[in-house]
């Protein structure tokens, strides 16, 4: 029994230390005592993805499939639209849940990461269904808006970094999708999403580490509940689908 208590104390001490990235990923999603915001963000992401997946599936067979060209042009990208929206929304929720004043360098990294990932995914997915123009405009708007929003706690320099990342990634995402239309686009999309998830998790780890270094022992959780994650993810999916269906299409998609 004494050995078990010693092992438990040793594990708790390790949890209270600032973990490395690998330990953070393996522990944060199941240790709600020392990583309350991370565990909630992970659970919220899974729940939102499941609920929105069911909703989109029902909507697809109820009425979306009757839209001319929807099944062939937009249908294959529906899962990635849902997963992208949930991933970015959950990561943003996590950032705000433990938010403190960031250093200038960290604020620039946060703005650049969120602006880049959100802009690239939005531009890529819409570019794959509507072409370069609509994908670029939508990607730039999403990336710049989110890059500005997540870095609003710091100086103008971090906001500029977020907007510049959105400007570059929105156009690059749409261009990448158009260039891959005839070269295994369906294979590249899950690979792209997986890399984006790794980058977002790395940014969450960096913010957690900085907050813990400043607070000392444990990061205080100040987040809201599940509803904001679900609502914002739903709105993101809805707006993206509306752009895909009703937005301008390139000559590459006029036959759909």
| 132-183: pLDDT as tens digits | 999 999 999 999 999 998 887 666 778 888 899 999 999 999 999 999 988 8
Band of pLDDT at residue 8, cut at 50, 70 and 90: very low
DSSP secondary structure letters along 176-195: HHHHTTTTTHHHHHHHHHHH
Residues 120, 135: Cα–Cα separation, whole Å = 9
Q: Do residues 94 and 226 lie in contact, with contact meaning Cβ atoms separated by under 8 Å?
A: no
- pTM listed for this prediction: 0.85
Residues 133, 121: Cα–Cα separation, whole Å = 15
Q: Locate 49 and state its tokens.
A: 């993805």
Q: Which of 9-18, 37-46, 48-57 has the lowest mean pLDDT?
A: 9-18
Closest C-alpha among 242, 253, 226 to residue 40? 226
């Amino acid at each position: 029994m004494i050995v078990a208590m010693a092992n438990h104390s040793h594990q708790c001490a390790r949890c209270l230390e600032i973990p490395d990235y690998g330990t953070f990923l393996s522990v944060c999603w199941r240790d709600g005592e020392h990583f309350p915001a991370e565990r909630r963000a992970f659970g919220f992401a899974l729940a939102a993805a499941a609920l929105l997946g069911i909703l989109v599936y029902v909507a697809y067979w109820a009425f979306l499939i009757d839209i001319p060209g929807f099944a062939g042009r937009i249908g294959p990208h529906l899962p990635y639209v849902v997963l992208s929206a949930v991933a970015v929304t959950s990561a943003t929720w996590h950032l705000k849940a433990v938010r403190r004043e960031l250093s200038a360098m960290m604020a620039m990294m946060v703005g650049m990461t969120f602006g880049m990932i959100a802009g690239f995914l939005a531009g890529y997915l819409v570019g794959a269904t509507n072409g370069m123009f609509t994908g670029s405009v939508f990607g730039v708007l999403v990336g710049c808006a989110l890059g500005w929003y997540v870095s609003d706690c710091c100086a103008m320099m971090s906001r500029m970094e977020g907007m510049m990342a959105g400007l570059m990634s929105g156009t690059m995402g749409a261009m990448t999708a158009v260039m891959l239309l005839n070269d295994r686009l369906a294979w590249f999309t899950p690979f792209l999403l997986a890399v984006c998830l790794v980058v977002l998790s790395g940014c969450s780890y960096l913010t957690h580490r900085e907050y813990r270094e400043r607070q000392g022992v444990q990061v205080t959780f100040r987040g809201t509940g599940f509803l904001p994650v679900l609502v914002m993810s739903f709105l993101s999916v809805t707006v993206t689908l509306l752009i895909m269906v009703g937005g301008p299409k390139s000559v590459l998609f006029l036959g759909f």
